[in-house]
Every structure is written in C-alpha cells, then in structure tokens.
A and B are shown apart, each in its own frame.
Chain A
C-alpha cells in the first residue's frame, strides 16, 4: 500500500514550525504561540492517522521511506514504524501538543523557547521513526542538546540552604541551581551518548555488513562473543537516559529545574527514548547478550522502583516529588523489558506511554500550582482544593494513575509488568516491585493530602483555578489516561504484534 510520506511530515512539521517561529518578530505575541500550536497539532493528527492506518494483521515496520544518504558508509534515510514505536510517536505528539499550551504564559524570550522546544521534539520523533542506526543517533543528539539552553535560560532554581559538613562544598558546586542542573543533565546524557556512539560503531564494524540499516542488521546475527560486551555498553548508554540507578541523579535535578513544557517532554518522552533504545537496539539486535545480562537489568530496575519511591517520599519540593516518581516508574518500564516475555514487554511499552502521559500531566499541574502560588514547598501549601477544584481533580487523577488504580492506564501497565515478572525466571523481582507500588501510594497520597486537603492557609485566599488554554492541556491528558485505562487494547494490540516479533528473535536463545 502506497502512502504519502507521513513520517517525513511528522518530522518536518515541528522543524518547519521551529524555523518559522525563529523568524517571527519579537513583539508578535500570538504568532510565536500559534505557529508552534499548529505544528504540534499537525503532528498529533498525523500520529492518530498512523495509529488508525497501521495494519495490525501484517505487523512489522510500515510506512517505510528509504533513500540513500551516504551509500559508501551504508547510511540511509530510512524511516518506518512498528507497533512499539507507533505507541511512542503517539505519546510524543500528545505531550508536545499539550506542552505548547502549558507554556503559554512564558513571557521572557518566548520565540527562542518555542524554537528550541520544537527542535527538541523533532529529534524525539526522529529517534522513534528512524530505521537507520546512524540516523537514530543523529536525532538522539538533537533531542538531548536543546535541553541545556531550555533549563539554563528558562529554568528555575531550587531555594536551598546547604547544611552540614558539606554545606560549603555544595554551595561551591551550586547544587540546586538551574545552571548546575542544566550542565549535569547535558553531561550525563552526552556521556551516555558517547557509549551509544561507540556501541553503534562497533555493531557496524563487527556485523561486517557495511551498513547502519536496522532491518539488515536485524536479519543478521551478530557474533555472540561480541554481543556479550556490546550489550552492556548499549545498556549503559541508553540507560543513562532511562534513569537507571545509580546514573539517574541528573533526572531529579534536571526535571525539577526545567520549565514546565521541558519537564513534561523530558520526563514524559525522553526518558522513554532511553528505554526504547535498550529494547530496540540492545535486545532486538543482541538477543544473546541481552539474555546474559538480563539479571543485571532487572535487578537495577527493582532498585530504581524502590529507591525512587523512597526518595520521593522524603521530598519537600513538589517538583522533586514528581521527578523522583519518574525514576521509580522508569524502573517498572525497565523491569518489564528485563522479563523478556510477552506480558512483561507489553507492560513495559504500555507503561512507557502511560507514564509519559501521566508525568506530563503531573508536571503541567506542578507548573500551574507554582505559577499561581509561587512556591514549590509543599509544607507551605495546604487546602488548595477549595480554591482550585479543577487542578485538584486533575492532580488526583494523575496521582491515582501513578499508584496504579484500576480503571486508569497505570494499573494495566503495572499489572502486565508484574505478571511478566512472576513468569520470568527471576520471580523474586516481584517482591521489590510490588513493594515499590506500595511506597508510591504513600508518597502520592501524602502529597495530595498536604497540598489539597490539609488545613487551608489564609495566605492563599485569592488563589485562582486554571484558566483558558491550560484546561485544554489538562483535559486532553487526563482523558487519554482514562481512555487507556478502560480500553487498553487500542494501543496494546499493535504493541503486542511488535513484541511477538521481538520475542521471536529469542527463540532458542532463552533457556
């Protein structure tokens, strides 16, 4: 079936949007907001079109576009989506569309902000749709770098008073400031990308095919001796972005300091990009290597779940709570991937989408609360439910998804992952996993109680509720959470098709 180049259009829309926005005059208030909104809207429509038109009975990669770029080195412009990437493209489109509306009130250097945001999202789309490892890496870098300026220029610093014996040192380093967070995030992620680059180049070399094409490499069996040390390289490289313990520390700092839309995009989508990389490049290309190292992947994932949840429990800063919850939830994603069975991997991908949208919603809400109350310190808040019932409702929906309440998408994902863990060889992963879910309930309910239901703080008697475009963002995101919780199969079906294809590579490899 011939298609018009949907995937190229998905890449082009935000990129052209970025260019157009860049050349608008500074004073044009509406134009620099409407153009990104239209660009994001186009990608959203196209991604829904993809979801509807993807032929589930055939499976595999569809909507293929293939043109040679540098034939001497086997680099080509090769795009295509399967069920897994389809779900993530869909997620990205939702987050950027709502992200544009959530940052409507940014007044300082708005033009540059939207330009960078759209560039970032071009990179993210590029990673999910490219079928050439080289192209994949290019887009990956494009997705990582704009974050530096986004946090550095538009971010916010945490108000902290360093105490104790390391106080002086902490002050010198500048922990908690946006400059520190921006640099830390960028360096961590680029450190990861150095691993990825070496990994990809080594794959290129040892396969001996002289191609970066994913489909050709997928059909080829990489020598198991190389897989054994290539898998950890790729795992660490992508794992940094997926927030694996102990390389996760950039995430709370970075996400807490970033402006709202950037946190939504980064925690919601970019961390998934790391997990996607581990599954796509690590597991699909190197099944033997993955089988050998899966015990480590799963164990670290369980540490993530518990450690992230416990850290979130201690935070006084609302944004840090949400940021640490991402670390914990990414553990569930990685745990699902490590099970290497059908329910586990389905759950893993589904959790990527579910957590992406949930975290997007939560960061949007945190942004709103901060903008109206001018504090992120939860102890200074209280009884906000009376003044902002809308925000309180949506916050509760997001929180309940986070702790896995049935009827919301988080439940489906966690249930599948735990089912997979139970069926996996290392069944004991289930214990910390479920324990983490319990801790999640504790920190979510604690935050909700203090902020919205506690005694009312008279200082905030003039607090307004969400207004105008902000409702769009909130309603769309929580609508999707409920939709996916009630009818998960609209996404699970295409995901399952791709997961089965992935698992077919493990036939005869798994003991």
Chain B
C-alpha cells in the first residue's frame, strides 16, 4: 500500500491529535489557537512546496496538482479562520476551545479527502466528515438563541441534502454496478431514467451545499445567527469543496452522459445571480447582506462551471482565492463590529472610518474586491470568469452578470457609505483584537497584491486546469 499521496491528510490527522492532547493539559485558548495556526501554516507551505502527488487505494484516492491547489485554498481558509476565531473563543467558548479547533480541523480533513476521492463511498464518507462538524460549530454560542437556531437550521437542511445526495449516489451505483468514478464514467452513457434521476438528486444535494438558488434558503438565517468567524469559514471553504465536486463529477463521472447539464447549470447560475443580488439590497444587517452577496458570487462561479472549459476551471480556481480573502476579511470585520457595538446592523457602522481609519480602509478594499473593481483581486476573478464564459458562448448570461455586478455595487457601496460618509454616533476608538487585525492585514495585502499581480495565481491555475482536463 502506497501511503505517500495521503501524507497531507495524515499530517492533519496528527495535528488533530496534538490539539487534542494539548487540550487535556492546557485550556489556554491562545495556546490552542497558536498550535492550530502554526500547524496549518506548516501544512500549507508543505503542500505548496513539496506536494505529494500520486494515486492510492487502487485508484480511488488521487492527489494531483488540481487537488493540491484546492487543498491549499482550504488550508488558507483554515489558517485565517483559526486565528480570526481566537478573540471570540477567548470570550465565549471558555473551556470548550479545544473542541472548537478540533471540529474545525475535522471539517478541514473532510474537505481534503472529498476532493481526492474517486469512489462514491469514500466520497460520501468524506463529504459527511466535512459537513457534520459544521453543524456543531454553527451552534457553538450556547447562550445565543440565534446561534442554536442557525445550527439547527444548518443541521436539518444539511442532513436532508446529504440524504438526497446519498440517494442519488445509490441510484448511480444501481445503474452501473460500480462505485468507482472511472467505471461510472464509462458506463453512464445513456440518459436512462434511473441515471437521470441519480444525476438530479446529486445536483440537488450539492446545490444545498454550495447554496445555489433554489436551494439557498438556509444561508441567510445561518449566516446571521452563527458566530461570525465560523461563518467566514462556512461561507468559503465548503463552497469551494462543493465546486470542486461539481467539476469532478461533471467532467469525469457525467462526462459521457447525454444530458444538457451545461444548460441546466447556466440556468441555475442565472437565477442564482439575480436572486442573490436583488435580495441583498434590502438587508439591514451586515452578515445577512454578505450571505446574500455570497449567493450572488456562487452564481458567478456557476457561470464558470457551465462553461466547463479548462480556461473556465482555471478562472473558478482563481475566483476561490479572491473570494476566500475578501469574504473572510469582510466577516471578520463584521465580528469586530459585533464585539464593539453588540450588533452587525449597518447603522451601527456609522463613521467607522473616522473612528478607526485602518479598519475602514480594510473593509473598503474587501467591499471593492467583492464588488469587482479594478486593482483589487475581485475584479480579475470576475473578469476572467466572464471571459471564459464568453468564449464558451454564454454571451447573454455574461451580459446579465455584468449588469448585476452594478446592482451588487449598490449594496456594497451602501456599506461603504455607512463606514465613510455617515457621521459617527460616538468618537470612541474601535477596538480591534490583535489576532483579527493580523488576519485582516493578511487578507488586505493578499487582495491588493493579487489585484496588482494576478498572474501569480492565474498562471499556475491555468496549468493546473489544463493538466486536470488532460488527465480525465
């Protein structure tokens, strides 16, 4: 048995054990967060500099440059969130901090497995490993009714969608008699009733996970109720995993299935963009607004999935990076506002730029990046996805998306207005915990640097996508 391709996963499992043991000795949140942060950072750089590519478990576990890139994105999100959660953990999770980080790491482990799995059973187990810790984490603020409700909602919708997903997988197995992706790809050629049903159930299950319309209802409530640093994680990492799954399934498992799935995805992309953007406009709370804006971003990324070319894959990969940086930053800003004002209402943000100029600038950059304005990374992400979709022939959809980005700018600028233009209610300085400040700084630097030099990610992403498509 060749364990080399599993090294990253094994190391992460080792990190979980270390956190577990340390938690028995010391309950100090700083120590636990520090170990998680340092461990994940080491893993991130190991993955970057010395990736373990290869195939094991008779070809059902694959590690290549495509999965390596995605694992980098997950680890990046984990790094940023592990540090960003520290101040919340210190104040509210006394005595339970160890479990918090262990759960976070377990979810990460699931993500690492899920993008490498090339077998239905392994895939589903990894998928559940990724999802179940999230339900617990959403309800981690035990004293807050909203948090419990968020957790419950996420749990019900999550398990329900998992059930649908597993039903779909069972049908696929039923029609082909195999759980291996490569066999499935060869056998699933005719669009017969059972395999079509399996396909639809699969799409629905994943649709819940990535929050595409019409399976998005859980997002606003969950985001509004759950603790902000966790939402920062929830809003990026599982979504990225979901998209990776979409790519793997559509381009490999369903590659020969005679179904107009591209049109289905293009349609879903259109309504996701429209609904996400329009529903974000009337929001009065930052986290809720970011939730709807997140749905809109899912729509843009689906545009790339619909295109399905290697260029589109590369651009969606790039989009993840942009989205991780800006979205985690924006949610941590929301967390700062909650810690200072006790609410994330937009009207509580009045004059933040005057009360803490640096914090205002950070948020402005995140907003511009989410809105897709040049010289920050979000612009390139949108532009590249549009370009890829245009080349694949979705001219009208790109036009719709371009117009909707203007709608999106309305609500992003509305946040900017509260921060920059409105007069502050008080002149007390806004306190930013050092850990959050550090994460905000990293995200901002990343957003600006990649905005000035997108080639840093775009170049490798293009190569990875080409290799991925060629290796199918």
Interface residues of A in 110-156 (CB under 8 A from B): 137-138, 141-142, 145, 148-149, 152-153
The reply to whether the CB of A510 lies closer than 8 angstroms to some CB of chain B is no
With contacts A149-B420, A179-B421 known, is A201 near B390, CB below 8 A?
yes
List chain A residues, Cβ under 8 A from B379.
Answer: 141
Binary per-residue interface labels of chain B (213-226) against chain A in the complex, 1 for a CB within 8 Å, 0 otherwise: 00000000000000
- Which of A189-197, A395-403, A455-463, A470-478 has 4 or more CB atoms under 8 Å from chain B? A189-197
Q: Is the CB of B421 within 8 A of A190?
A: no
Q: How far is the CA of A137 from the CA of B374 in the complex (A)?
A: 9
**Of B374, B410, B414, B420, which is within 8 A of A141 by CB?**
B374
Q: Is the CB of B413 within 8 A of A205?
A: no
Please classify the interface of chain B as helix (H, G, I), strand (E, B), loop, or mixed, using the class held by over half of its residues.
Answer: helix
Type the 1/0 row for A152-168, where 1 means its CB is closer than 8 Å to any CB of B: 11000000000000000
Counting CB contacts under 8 A, is B375 at the interface? yes
Q: Verify B458–A70 contact, CB threshold 8 A.
A: yes
In the assembly, what is the distance between CA of A197 and CA of B385, in Å?
13
| B406, CB-defined interface residue at 8 Å | yes
* Contact (Cβ within 8 A) A183 B413: yes
Q: Report B397 CB to chain A, min CB distance, Å.
A: 11
Q: Assuming A198-B398, A201-B386, A201-B390, is B374 touching A138 (CB within 8 A)? A: yes
- Within 8 Å of chain B (Cβ to Cβ): is A202? yes
State A201–B315 Cα separation when bound (angstroms).
Answer: 15
Contact digits for A172-197, partner B, Cβ 8 Å, 1 yes 0 no: 00000001001100110011011101
* Inter-subunit contact B398/A190 (CB<8 Å): no
For A191, A194, A204, which residue has the most chain B Cβ atoms within 10 angstroms?
A194
B27 lies within 8 A of chain A by Cβ: no
Assuming the A-B contacts A70-B455, A153-B421, A179-B421, are A197 and B410 also in contact, with contact meaning beta carbons closer than 8 angstroms in the complex? no
* Bound CA–CA A153/B409 (angstroms): 18
Among A149, A152, A182, A191, contact of B406 (Cβ-Cβ < 8 Å): A191
Q: How far is the CA of A73 from the CA of B314 in the complex (A)?
A: 13
The answer, yes or no, to whether A2 is at the interface (CB within 8 Å) is: no
Known: A138-B375, A187-B409. A198 touches B420 (CB 8 A): no
Q: How far is the CB of B385 from chain A (nearest CB, A)?
A: 11
A142 engages B374 (CB within 8 Å): yes
Q: Is B152 an interface residue (CB 8 A)?
A: no
- CB-defined contacts of B390 to chain A, threshold 8 Å: 201-202, 205
Q: A205 to B386: give the CA distance in the assembly, Å.
A: 12
In the complex, A204→B398 CA distance in Å?
14
Return B3 CB to nearest CB of chain A, in Å: 37
Contacts of B420 in A (CB 8 A): 149, 152-153
The interface bits of chain A over 432-446 (1 if a CB of B lies within 8 angstroms of the residue's CB, else 0) are 000000000000000
Task: Point out the residues of chain B lying under 8 angstroms from A187, CB to CB.
Answer: 406, 409-410
Residue A72 is within 8 A (CB to CB) of chain B in the complex: yes
Return chain A residues, CB-CB under 8 Å to B160: none
- A148 nearest CB neighbor, chain B only: B413
> Taking the nearest CB of chain A, how far is it from the CB of B377, in angstroms?
13
In Å, the complex CA distance between A191 and B405 comes to 9
Say if the beta carbon of B462 comes within 8 Å of chain A: yes
Contacts of A141 in B (CB 8 A): 373-374, 379
Out of B368, B375, B391, B409, name the residue touching A205 (CB < 8 Å).
Answer: B391
Instruction: Digitize B396-421: 1 where CB-to-A-CB distance is under 8 Å, 0 elsewhere.
Output: 00110011011001100110110011
CB contact between A145 and one of B373, B399, B403 (< 8 Å): that residue: B373
Q: Which residues of B contact A137 (CB under 8 A)?
A: 374
Asked if B432 is at the interface (CB within 8 A of a chain A CB), the reply is no
How many pairs of residues, A versus B, come closer than 8 Å at their CB atoms?
A: 69
Tell me, rounded to whole Å, the shortest Cβ–Cβ distance linking A475 to chain B. Answer: 34
Contact A194 B406 (CB under 8 A): yes
Asked if B387 CB lies within 8 Å of chain A CBs, one says yes
A459 to B421, CA, bound (A): 34
Complex-state Cα separation, A201 to B402, whole angstroms: 11
Least Cβ–Cβ distance between A118 and chain B, in angstroms: 15
- In the assembled complex, the Cα of A187 lies from the Cα of B414 at a distance in Å of 11
A149-B462 contact, Cβ under 8 Å, with A70-B455, A187-B406, A201-B390: no
* Beta-carbon contact of A183 and B410 below 8 Å: yes
Whose C-beta in chain A lies nearest to the C-beta of B386? A201
| Set B395, B405, B409, B462: member contacting A202, Cβ < 8 A | B395
Are A194 and B413 in contact, CB atoms less than 8 angstroms apart?
no
1/0 per residue, CB under 8 A from A, across B344-382: the answer is 000000000000000000000000100001110001000
Residues of A within 8 A of B406 (CB): 187, 190-191, 193-194
1/0 per position for B413-445, CB-CB distance to A under 8 A? 110110011000000000000000000000000
* Bound CA–CA A186/B406 (angstroms): 9
Tell me, in angstroms, the Cα distance from A290 to B414 when the chains sit together.
38
Q: Specify which of A73, A186, A194 is in contact with B402 (CB 8 Å cutoff).
A: A194
Closest A-chain residue to B458, C-beta based? A70
* A142/B375 in contact, CB under 8 A: yes
Most buried by B among A179, A187, A201: A201
Q: With the chains together, A336 CA to B414 CA distance in Å?
A: 38
Residues on the B chain within 8 Å of A191, using CB: 403, 406
Q: How far is the CA of A202 from the CA of B398 in the complex (A)?
A: 10
Q: Are A190 and B455 in contact (CB under 8 A)?
A: no
How far does the alpha carbon of A190 sit from the alpha carbon of B403 in the complex, in Å?
A: 9
Within the complex, the shortest CB–CB distance from A240 to chain B, in Å, comes to 11
Q: In the assembly, what is the distance between CA of A197 and CA of B398, in Å?
A: 10
Question: CA separation between A43 and B246, bound complex, in Å?
Answer: 52
Contacts of A73 in B (CB 8 A): 387
Contact for B421 among A142, A149, A195, A202, CB less than 8 A = A149
Q: Which listed residue (A72, A183, A205) contacts B462, Cβ 8 A? A: A72
- Chain A residues lying within 8 Å of B399, measured Cβ to Cβ, are 194, 198
CA gap between A194 and B386 in the complex, in Å: 11
Residue of B nearest to A135 (CB): B374
When distances are taken between beta carbons in the complex, the residues of chain A under 8 Å from B375 are: 138, 142
Contacts of A197 in B (CB 8 A): 383, 386, 402
Contact yes or no, A186 B409, CB < 8 A? yes
Cα of A382 to Cα of B386 in the assembled complex, Å:
56
Q: Which residues of chain B are near A72, meaning CB under 8 Å? A: 458-459, 462
A194 touches B395 (CB 8 A): no
Minimum C-beta distance from B407 to chain A (A): 8
A residues less than 8 Å from B391 (CB atoms): 205
| Bound Cα distance A204, B387 (Å) | 9
- B398 in contact with A179 (CB, 8 Å): no
CB distance from A192 to the nearest CB of B (A): 9
**Contact B421 A201, beta carbon cutoff 8 Å:** no
Name which residue of chain B comes closest to A178, CB basis.
Answer: B421
CA distance A191 to B417 in the complex (A): 19
Residues from chain A with a CB closer than 8 A to the CB of B413 are 148, 183, 186
A75 to B402, CA, bound (A): 20
Bound CA span A316–B413, Å: 31
Which residue of chain A lies nearest to B459 when distances are taken between CB atoms in the complex? A72
CB closest residue in chain B, given A152: B421
CB distance from A126 to the nearest CB of B (A): 10
Within 8 A of B (CB), among A183-232: 183, 186-187, 190-191, 193-195, 197-198, 201-202, 204-205
In the complex, A400→B462 CA distance in Å?
Answer: 59
Q: How far is the CA of A197 from the CA of B387 in the complex (A)?
A: 10
CA distance A142 to B375 in the complex (A): 8
Given contacts A138-B374, A187-B409, 14 further A-B pairs with CB under 8 A are: A72-B459, A141-B373, A142-B374, A145-B373, A152-B417, A153-B420, A182-B417, A187-B406, A190-B405, A194-B405, A194-B406, A197-B383, A205-B390, A205-B391
Task: Report which A residues bind B (CB closer than 8 A).
Answer: 70, 72-73, 137-138, 141-142, 145, 148-149, 152-153, 179, 182-183, 186-187, 190-191, 193-195, 197-198, 201-202, 204-205
Q: Which 6 A-B pairs have the closest CB atoms?
A: A194-B402, A152-B421, A138-B374, A190-B406, A141-B374, A191-B406
A-B contact pairs, 11 of them (CB 8 A): A70-B455, A72-B458, A137-B374, A145-B368, A152-B420, A183-B417, A187-B410, A190-B409, A194-B406, A198-B399, A204-B387
Name B's A-contacting residues (CB within 8 A): 368, 373-375, 379, 383, 386-387, 390-391, 395, 398-399, 402-403, 405-406, 409-410, 413-414, 416-417, 420-421, 454-455, 458-459, 462
